[in-house]
């Protein structure tokens, strides 16, 4: 069977995606699969490289430079070159797509829609879950309907900020207390996120977040631990032991997480059995609320008196060597290679189920 490993992309999380792809190439079972790497450049070109029969030597080797087919054929094993292809050319029999694209145009339902249109099985959440999980405002509305506890928040639109900033201040300061956290609605990995301790900092934080999205969310800052639970499955939902991001600062930015590796993880998290069970129950409920499939990582806040608040659900969490998601499963008893294989099988089962529904509707 062929695996189309798609990574890169036009989002701010381009480099994280490459690191994730590199980690997967080190662990995939080459005995059973031909791995076709497809690198989406920052400008949006799709470059297909040589078929991988073994792990690549570095993440940089997956950043293809464009070459014509003749050059690619001559440079046997030259995995640093790729041929531009049309996205629809990946439609093939006996193949599954493994997209590891983070952020906009990757985990927001757009590329999942392409896979649905061309009729290919793919790893991860579908269009609905991807779009809703990526959008922090919409997911908060859904979690509210599902009865999942959250910190207070205020959604802010760019147009409202531009035309009546004072009204935005009244909404934020009338509902929330400082400090506040300001986030783009459709971005991940701490990109565009700031903390504000006063109005001047709030102005700067809103302006920063609006560089990444026209819709942002302002959240109540609280003193809390950050815990995460990994979810795996389709209709049969499985959850991992909780893990904790042990903070030495208020929050970690993109560079701290992925470039400098300054994040310390505690797995399993030091919590009571009751808290652990509640976290896992909330994670499964959030996954089901979004109509998740394949994988997700659910992030929570835990206060000193064991109050739990759901923060967000990431439908395509990172698979880098520092990432929480695979480490959570490793500590729950599922190794990296087996995890990758399970995700592929979940994608195939979900595709078969959907095909069966479509067939019954047409007959």
Question: Catalytic one among 11, 13, 23, 296?
Answer: 13
With left for phi above 0 and alpha for psi between -120 and 50, is residue 113 left, alpha or beta? alpha
Q: Was 3 annotated as part of a binding site?
A: no
181 annotated as belonging to a binding site for a ligand: yes
262 labelled ligand-binding:
no
| DSSP designation for 120 | -
Q: Which two tokens stand for residue 332?
A: 């729950």
Q: Tell me whether residue 124 is annotated as binding.
A: no
Active site residue 189: yes
190 is annotated as contributing to ligand binding:
yes
Q: Which two tokens stand for residue 141?
A: 């509305």
Q: How far apart are CA 190 and CA 43, in angstroms?
A: 22
Q: Residue 94: left (phi > 0), alpha (psi -120 to 50), or beta?
A: left
Q: In whole angstroms, what is the distance from residue 352 CA to residue 299 CA?
A: 30
314 annotated among ligand-binding-site residues: yes
Distance in angstroms (rounded) separating the CA atoms of residues 286 and 296: 10
What is the rounded CA–CA span in Å between residue 107 and residue 45? 18
Confirm or deny that 240 is annotated as ligand binding.
no
Does the annotation mark 323 as catalytic?
Answer: yes
Q: How many CB atoms lie within 10 A of CB 151?
A: 17
Is 136 marked as a binding-site residue? Answer: yes
Asked whether residue 196 is marked as a ligand-binding residue, the answer is no
In the block, which residue shows the tokens 């479509």? 358
DSSP state for residue 122 in the 8-state scheme: B
Residue 358 marked as a ligand binder: no
CB atoms within 10 A of CB 95: 16
Name the catalytic one among 139, 194, 296, 323: 323
The answer to whether the annotation marks 189 as part of a ligand binding site is yes
Identify the active-site residue in 11, 23, 189, 296: 189
Q: Does the annotation place 206 within a ligand binding site?
A: no
Tokens at residue 227, please? 């815990």
- The binding site for Mg(2+) comprises 299, 312, 314
Active site residues: 13, 189, 323
- The binding site for ATP comprises 136, 181-183, 189-190, 219-226, 311-312
- The binding site comprises 136, 181-183, 189-190, 219-226, 299, 311-312, 314
């Amino acid at each position: 069977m062929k695996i189309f490993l798609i990574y890169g992309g036009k989002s701010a999380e381009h480099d994280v995606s490459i690191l994730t792809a590199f980690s997967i190439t080190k662990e995939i079972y080459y005995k059973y699969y031909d791995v076709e790497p497809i690198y989406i450049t920052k400008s949006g070109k799709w470059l297909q490289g040589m078929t991988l029969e073994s792990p690549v030597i570095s993440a940089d080797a997956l950043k293809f430079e464009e070459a014509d087919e003749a050059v690619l054929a001559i440079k046997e094993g030259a995995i640093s070159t790729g041929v531009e292809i049309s996205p629809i050319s990946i439609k093939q029999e006996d193949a599954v797509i493994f997209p590891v694209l983070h952020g906009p145009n990757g985990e927001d339902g757009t590329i999942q829609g392409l896979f649905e249109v061309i009729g290919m099985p793919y790893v991860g959440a579908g269009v609905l879950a991807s779009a809703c999980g990526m959008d922090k405002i919409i997911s908060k509305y859904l979690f509210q309907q599902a009865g999942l506890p959250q910190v207070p928040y205020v959604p802010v639109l760019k147009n409202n900020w531009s035309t009546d900033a004072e009204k935005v201040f009244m909404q934020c300061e009338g509902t929330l207390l400082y400090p506040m956290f300001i986030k783009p609605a459709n971005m991940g990995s701490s990109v565009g996120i700031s903390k504000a301790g006063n109005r001047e900092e709030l102005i700067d934080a809103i302006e920063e977040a609006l560089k990444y999205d026209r819709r942002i969310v302002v959240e109540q800052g609280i003193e809390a631990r950050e815990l995460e639970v990994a979810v795996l499955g389709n209709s049969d939902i499985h959850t991992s032991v909780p893990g904790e991001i042990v903070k030495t600062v208020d929050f970690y930015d993109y560079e701290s997480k992925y470039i400098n590796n300054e994040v310390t993880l505690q797995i399993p998290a030091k919590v009571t059995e009751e808290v652990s069970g509640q976290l896992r129950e909330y994670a499964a409920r959030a996954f089901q609320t979004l109509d998740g499939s394949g994988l997700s990582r659910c992030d929570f806040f835990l206060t000193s008196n064991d109050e739990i608040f759901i923060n967000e659900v990431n439908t395509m969490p990172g698979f880098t060597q520092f990432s929480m998601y695979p480490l959570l499963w490793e500590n729950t008893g599922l190794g990296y290679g087996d995890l990758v294989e399970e995700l592929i099988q979940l994608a195939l089962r979900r595709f078969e189920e959907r095909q069966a529904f479509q067939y019954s509707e047409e007959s």
